[in-house]
Amino acid sequence: MSPPILAAPWFARAPVIQRSRQVAAVLAGHGLTSWLDHSGLRRFAPLRRGETRPTPLTQAEHLRLALGELGVTFIKLGQMLSTRADLLPPDTIEELARLQDAAPHVPWEHIEHTLTADLGAPPDVLFASFDRMPVASASIGQVHAAILHNGQPVVVKVRRPGVVDEVERDLEILWGMARWARDHTPFGRDFDLEALVEEFSYTIRNELDYVHEGQNADRFRRAFAGDPVVVVPWVFWDLTTRRVLTLERMEGIKLSDLGALDEAGIRRRSIAENSVRLFARQVLEFGFFHADPHPGNFFVRPDGSIALVDFGMVGRLSERLQLALLRAGLAAIRQDPEMLAEQLYSLGVAGRAARYGPFQRDLDHVLTRYAGVTVAEVSLAAVTREITSLAFRHRLQLPSDLALLFRVVAMAEGMGLRLDPDFHFLESAEPLIKQHWHRRHSLAEGLTRLRDVSADALDFGFELPRRAQRLMGRMERGQLELNVNHEGLHDMVRQFQRMTNRLAMAVVLAASIVALGLAVALGRPQSWTTWADALLTIGFVSSLVFGAWLLIAIWRSRGS
């Protein structure tokens, strides 16, 4: 976990404070004053308040532009927040989904230096040919086409120089913002923003590490081994490091190029069905899924198979989460709002404002609307949007991977509809869901789970007497402690400490001014020297500066 902004020495904090001022200035320039007030960045903003740009843009549009202006970390943050319909209103989610991750090309000299430093030889030696113009350029890295000496076409991803330091500095700012919101705002207390920042930090650090992306690609290739529908590129590990990733080049037609698919004689309906199979196996069978399924990351090969690229962002579903999703699906099929609410409520991290009863009633209304509707008429994306909307309304914070899955569901269904307007995602997925449900509840699976549970119970039974003995011993020695956390007391203590600190500073300032005034009033003794005059002048100036700083601090914190 990253430390707060003010935990490091001043010389280490200087770049972070400078960057905080830049972030605050960009937000203020876009009129996003509420984001300044709810993040603790108000103290870094320019003194003029309430200034907005005279444009007809909405707040959501200004937020998208501001995040794009702030660079890689905030672009990735916006893309992550676009999956969190349980935290942000729909207009903001829709706008953040348009956030593009593009950046200017890195000069060839930097790319050549990185390749030579990491791979041990210049690219002209390592590759038969290497295209100096990038195929694509994003905020973390850019992609070049190349050919190995054996004639194998590859793509080489190279990380941009300096991006790691930039991301780490911005993550430190985000940690400070999350802690400030937790201590000062109702939103920060209702939602676990620190867990959100922790998850985001883990995700973006993995994207910076191309070894991790290569491991994801290998995992997908092993999972889909033998599947004629899915193709995953090979990783060339001898040409891969944390900053360089070399992958087999995938050839084919982009999934979004419908005209090219028709010209090639490839049935779009079969591609849509293959995409459902691809998605269902990832979620139901493997427990991990490609979390960036936009059409540019999928290529259709002449035989109708689908090639995947870009494995930097991957979602994972735990066994508990998979079971809860299956039970929630069963409850929806049975029109059982109580069971559905219980499963969804167990998945979400309920804040203090969350209430179970109203949430169950709203779910009942949703199920009533779908009563008597066939599977072919149900839009899975619409259902997930309604669920996340309810979560937002009832202050339920869904697990990050589940929120990401809901976004992937919407993108996958939209991709299928672009391929075939008559395509029904849920209808195509229903046989796979039933097959997986029967497999999970088969006799063999039940016996396996019973064996595992029995082994755990047996181990716990053997350990229980020893643990009880240790507990009783600690109680007899008076070593057992009870910690009580009083909600709201922490905020009150912080406010009281701030008041007393300012009062003490004001007293010290007043005493300094009085002492300096007395020194002047007593006159100048014969022994008075030039350096004493200078010291007196410095004291007056310091008192004025200190007093001005104290007044500004009190003025800025009046709204907190």
Q: Catalytic residues, which ones?
A: 292
Backbone angles phi, psi at 316, to 5 degrees: -130, 145
| 127 vs 416: CA distance, rounded Å | 38
Q: What is the CA radius of gyration of the chain?
A: 30
- Cα dihedral across residues 321, 191, 176, 84: positive or negative: positive
Q: Report how far apart, in Å, the C-alpha atoms of 279 and of each of 287, 384, 397, 530 are.
A: 11, 16, 24, 82
**Cβ-proximal residues to 92 (8 Å cutoff; 6+ apart), any chain:** 59, 60, 63, 81
Distance CA 211, CA 336 (A): 45
Q: What is the DSSP string of 403-440?
A: HHHHHHHHHHHHHHHHH-TT--HHHHHHHHHHHHHHHH
Asked if residues 197 and 171 have their Cβ atoms less than 8 Å apart, the reply is: yes
> CB under 8 Å to 103, separation ≥6 — which residues?
72, 137, 138, 139, 142, 160
How far is the C-alpha of 327 from the C-alpha of 195, rounded, in Å? 26
Contact criterion met (CB below 8 Å) for 283 and 315 = no
Cα 270-276-279 angle, rounded to 5 deg? 140
The SS3 of residue 146 is strand
Burial of 470 from C-beta contacts in 10 A (0-12 / 13-18 / 19+): exposed
Treating both helix axes as pointing N-terminal to C-terminal, what angle do 489-521 and 530-556 enclose, rounded to 10 degrees?
150
Helix axes 337-347, 356-369, angle to 10 degrees: 120
502 closest CA partner among 441, 539, 455, 551: 551
| Residue 311: closest CA among 234, 423, 193, 217 | 217
CA angle 37, 40, 45 (to 5 degrees): 75
Structure tokens at 94: 């829709």
CB 174 within 8 A of CB 77: yes
Instruction: Tell me if 143 sits within 8 A of 134, measured CB to CB.
Output: yes
